[in-house]
Structure 1
Amino acid sequence: MMAVLATPGANVLLPRPGYPLYEARAALGGLEFRHYNLLHEKGWEVDIEGVEALADNNTVAIVMVNPNNPCGSVYSYEHPAKIAETARKLGAMVISDEIYELCAFGSKPFVPMGVFGEVAPVVTLGGISKRWMVPGWRLGWIAMADPKGVLRKKKVKLDMSYFDGIDDDIDFCTKLAKEESVVICPGSGLGMKNWLRVTFAVDPPLLEAGLERLRSFCLRHAKPNRKQVTS
């Protein structure tokens, strides 16, 4: 898609946080890319006003990822429709990664497919609630972020004032890997400095063991006046 859209002067709007692959493919074709923000306080929704401010007559596409990767959120029934309407007003297309139609709940078993007006059923992945249940209660005592946000979004904001001798998210992840053999993706690689991206796609016993190592690491590197945590 990036290669096809790369006409002279064209630009595409990419989400932040997001994966560098989009930037690399756009740059490879000489396509300008601009980053719009995903709003953490609104469940990582697209900043519609930011998109409109970034766009111009040369904007050819808006990249949207839903269910969101790397944030793990699923947009409401209405939000993708707002994105589609914004793209229509701008004269741009929507490049939809992941599964665009997986955003309906309860009494809404079908949702519009953006500007195409089609419908698609909701897909439920078996076992995902069990894999997310463990992080929901285990990450509550790590002094980093709202545990409910961790459960839903898979991204954790580091409170750097908690740590002694750790500079940023990259330093945190590097030392964690060396000391505890636990690998977590630093947010800086996805455009979000001092955030972490945690994957839960492992068996629950391994996940619990990894979280316990993470807890030990955080306590070991905590400032003396910040070592008290809620068990």
Structure 2
Amino acid sequence: MDSQSENGTTTRSYNGVLENPNNITIKGILKLLIESIDSSANGKRVISLGMGDPSAYSCFHTTAVAEESVVDSLQSRKFNGYAPTAGLPETRKAIAEYLTRNLPYKLNPDDVFVTSGCTQAIDVALSMVARPGANILIPRPGFPIYKLCASFRHLDVRHFDLVPENGWEVDLSAVETLADHDTVAMVIINPGNPCGNVYSYQHLKKIAETAKRLKILVIADEVYGHLAFGSHPFVPMGVFGSITPVLTLGSLSKRWIVPGWRLGWFVLNDPQNIFRNSKIIEHIKKYFDILGGPATFIQAAVPRILSQTDEIFFMKTLKLLKQTSDICFERVKEIACISCPHKPDGSMTLMVKINFFLLKDIYDDIEFCFKLAKEESVILLPGIAVGLKNWVRITFAVDPTSLEEALDRLKVFCERHSHQ
């Protein structure tokens, strides 16, 4: 793991993670962490609190309606061919109707484009705003795919901070300072990954008003849409589409617990028809002509999934997420060297700060996570992967028993490495 530099000091390389922190991806670093574990040496099963895939645990599962809808569409033999590049008409219509439920205006099917998961929607959004010399504002901490996609599109990235003491709200004064005439958009992730925040109506309105003053649009990442179980209900950013144009990105993945189905959407919230008066719509349509969307039979299942899923299914999921988030937040309080500044209100993850003054032989979040994996077979995501060095992200979309065991091991690990 360690290597000697030319001046004789020791560098903790961890397979190059520290040397190239800008190239870190969540999946990449989690793969390295898992590969570093020798379970036969410590005799403990691996518990991952790193990847946000709740379907890995039997207590989180999709609804029967979703499964039956996919089976029926496949067995019908009507959806074995190519879908239109923007998505099946009935799928676009169903997504428009689903999102319209929470908006003060009506979306049209033409406002909706079906994507292969939210990741493809992110790539489309950044491709649409890219131009020579342009920059985009993204949150820190945030989802690293935005920075990666921006680099491929030659978009300059500028980070604005989320303030933990204010429930991870956007530092809007920093946004105004960062923006210039080359700024094209700002990204808002709500409910938040990695922080577990859910923004209030008032804060989202201030974000929209700030974007209007700066003459930029808002890219609203709502892949965790409706997964809110705290004091703030989920409010879609599209509610404020009359103030400034909003590109809404979402998917079935989290709310229906089917990340592997890769069914997402890219939606124009533009009731003032600003996009309609430009060539942007035609540009988007042409771009989708070169993309491959999700499987046609999955698309065909969407109308029934969106219209017939029982509210009880959603309530059970939220109840379980509330339970596991409470466990996580309360147990973190018992561990001296870490702290969580804000109790999660939604999503499936939270951020925890490491106090290195209380640790005798660990000096950064990368080392913390690799040693924890090696000694306790517990996987956490180093904060540097989401833009916040010396923090860690914990995923609480885990069955309660496994979560309790993992947090027990985390406590033992911290006690082992603490100053006595």
TM-score class normalised by the smaller sequence: 0.7 to 0.9
Q: 1:203 aligns with which of 384, 399, 402?
A: 399
Q: 2:141 aligns with which of 5, 8, 17?
A: 17
Counterpart CA distance in 1 for 2:232 and 2:194 is 28
Counterpart CA distance in 2 for 1:74 and 1:192 is 19
Q: 1:127 aligns with which of 288, 296, 320?
A: 320
Q: 1:192 aligns with which of 388, 391, 394?
A: 388
1:143 Cα deviation (Å)?
Answer: 1.5
Tell me which residue corresponds to 1:229: none
Q: How does 1:87-166 map to 2 (within 5 A)?
A: 87-98=211-222, 113-116=239-242, 125-146=318-339, 149-151=342-344, 154-166=350-362
Specify whether residues 41 and 220 from structure 1 end up closer, same or farther in structure 2 by C-alpha distance, changes over 3 A only: same
Structure 1 unmatched ranges of 5 or more? 225-231
Counterpart CA distance in 2 for 1:75 and 1:30 is 30
Counterpart CA distance in 2 for 1:108 and 1:201 is 19
Structure scoring higher RCO (CA < 8 A, sep ≥ 6) equals: 2
RMSD: 2.7
Scaled by the length of structure 1, the TM-score of the pair is: 0.86
Q: Percent of aligned pairs with the same residue? A: 44
Larger displacement relative to structure 2 (106-115 or 9-18): 106-115
Counterpart CA distance in 2 for 1:175 and 1:5 is 41
Larger displacement relative to structure 2 (46-55 or 94-103): 94-103
Tell me which residue corresponds to 2:196: 72
Counterpart CA distance in 2 for 1:100 and 1:59 is 26
Specify whether residues 67 and 106 from structure 1 end up closer, same or farther in structure 2 by C-alpha distance, changes over 3 A only: closer
1:141 Cα deviation (Å)?
Answer: 1.1
1:135 Cα deviation (Å)?
Answer: 1.4
Structure 2 unmatched ranges of 5 or more? 1-124, 244-268, 270-313
1:167 Cα deviation (Å)?
Answer: 1.2
Scaled by the length of structure 2, the TM-score of the pair is: 0.49
Counterpart CA distance in 2 for 1:21 and 1:179 is 30
Tell me which residue corresponds to 1:178: 374
8 A Cα contact 1:38 1:46, kept in partner: yes
8 A Cα contact 2:198 2:234, kept in partner: no
8 A Cα contact 1:65 1:98, kept in partner: yes
Counterpart CA distance in 2 for 1:107 and 1:5 is 31
Amino acid aligned to 2:410 = L
After superposition, the C-alpha distances for 1:129-158 in whole angstroms (9 at most, x for unaligned) are 112121132221112455562555711110
Q: How does 1:13-52 map to 2 (within 5 A)?
A: 13-52=137-176
Specify whether residues 99 and 9 from structure 1 end up closer, same or farther in structure 2 by C-alpha distance, changes over 3 A only: same
Tell me which residue corresponds to 2:181: 57
- 1:86 matched to 2:210: yes
Secondary structure at 2:397 match in 1: coil
After superposition, the C-alpha distances for 1:152-196 in whole angstroms (9 at most, x for unaligned) are 571111000010110111100000000000000010111111101
Secondary structure at 1:138 match in 2: helix
